[in-house]
Amino acid sequence: MEQKGPGQAPAATPETAVKEPRSNGETPCSGGPSGGEKACGENPQTLGTQGKTGLFKLVGEIFAPLIPGAIVSGLCAGFASLLVQFCPEYAKSPVLTVIYGFLTLINKGFLPYMTAWVGYRAAERFGATPILGGMLGMMTSLGEIDAIAGALGLYNAADPLNSVLCAGRGGVIAVILGAWLLSRVEGFFRRRMPSSLNMIFTPILTMAVCTTLYVTAVMPLAGLASAGLCKGIEFFCMNEHLAVRVAAGAVSAGLFLPLVAMGMNYGLTAIYAVQLAASGRITLYPALAMAGAGQVGASLALYTVARHNEPLRAVIKSAIPAGVMGVGQPLIYGVTLPLGRPFFTAGAGAVCGGAFVTACQVASTTWGPSGVLAVFIMTAGPNGPLQGMLCYCCGLFISCAVSFLLTKLFIREENIPEGLGSRG
């Protein structure tokens, strides 16, 4: 299965795609005759039985259908920021006002409802009724949560974001945990409910129990985790001390390539989503996007070194365009990882680029696009969209150049196996 840039997940497959309704209007989670398929709540994927790799894969499958929306939303947010930067008086022009309105409209069509999409997908992956998961996710951001929190004494009106419970508390972490809880509760009721009453009473009882537990327990606890996570990332990536930012970017970019090689980069999408919902920007993503540029630089160096290895040069030539666009897996699995040392020189280049972009406080408006395609989403940093895009481009160049020079320095043609790159 092909994997794409930092945090990107593959296209939907028969295993991950939403199952289509049957001709009688039922779905595998409708509670009616299942034709051999198990009802909702039976044999769901559980958090407790997933290994580390399986857990990351599960998170990736939950977020896979969201990536196109995240890309479109983030790009529109970036273009809207550029429009304001270039034309601060855009409101005086009807044409620019309409353009800005459409850009912000598309952007707001995703982010405020992201928890609903996550809830729907997570419930589906855990074996619960998807629409109930979507409802659970949707209610996460509704204002009624604040009213409930106020009645329970959990709402801080002076500083709502520091409340124990408030609308949006816990974000997608809460929603994923809530969907898992939903699958457990729904399975409990469905196994004990007479089939004639299943369609009506199982959803009602499930939502009554889950909503109570979700709002009063899951959201506050997940809120502590997500707030700590966001504050930690912001502290390191946006620290006032340059050395701290440099170290954060270097470590993040250096560790990302091994995660991609092991297929564990999927799990990072939840971190992106949490930070995006909490602060409207992602500070970790720009550093991780440097990994692909490091692969490009190392591969270009190998292309110049391996003058007599035509099979390897052919693989590099075919994979470089994808690498420039942020799809680094062909270069990782087909070129640098099999050779060993180029994988590490590519990582060294990514470390340098990651250190640079975090030093410049580059932040993105979304996740998904990588390589040169990500330039227009690097507009959320504190120094303005133009500087953010410029620093991101400089980071790509640094990653590519450093990995190119290190690979040229440490790799000789005699170190490259003759059969590498051959398709036989």
Res 4: pLDDT: 47
Is 70 exceeded by the pLDDT of residue 420?
no
pLDDT for res 260: 77
For residue 2, pLDDT over 80 is answered with no
Q: Does the pLDDT value for residue 417 go beyond 90? A: no
pLDDT, tens digit, 9 for 90 and up, residues 44-68:
555 554 555 566 677 778 887 887 8
31 has pLDDT over 50: no
pLDDT per residue as tens digits for the range 139-188: 998 889 999 999 999 988 887 777 889 888 888 889 999 999 999 999 99
Give the confidence band of 220 by pLDDT, cuts at 50, 70, 90: very high
Least confident window among 66-80, 257-271, 297-311, 318-332? 257-271
CA 145 to chain centroid, in Å, comes to 26
> pLDDT (tens digit, 9 = 90+) per residue, 83-130?
887 788 888 899 999 999 998 898 888 878 888 999 999 999 999 999
Q: What is the mean pLDDT of residues 258-267?
A: 70
What is the model's pTM? 0.66
Q: Which of 16-20, 56-60, 107-111, 240-244 has the highest mean pLDDT?
A: 240-244
The least confident of 25-29, 70-74, 263-267, 276-280 is 25-29
So what's the pLDDT on residue 394? Answer: 96
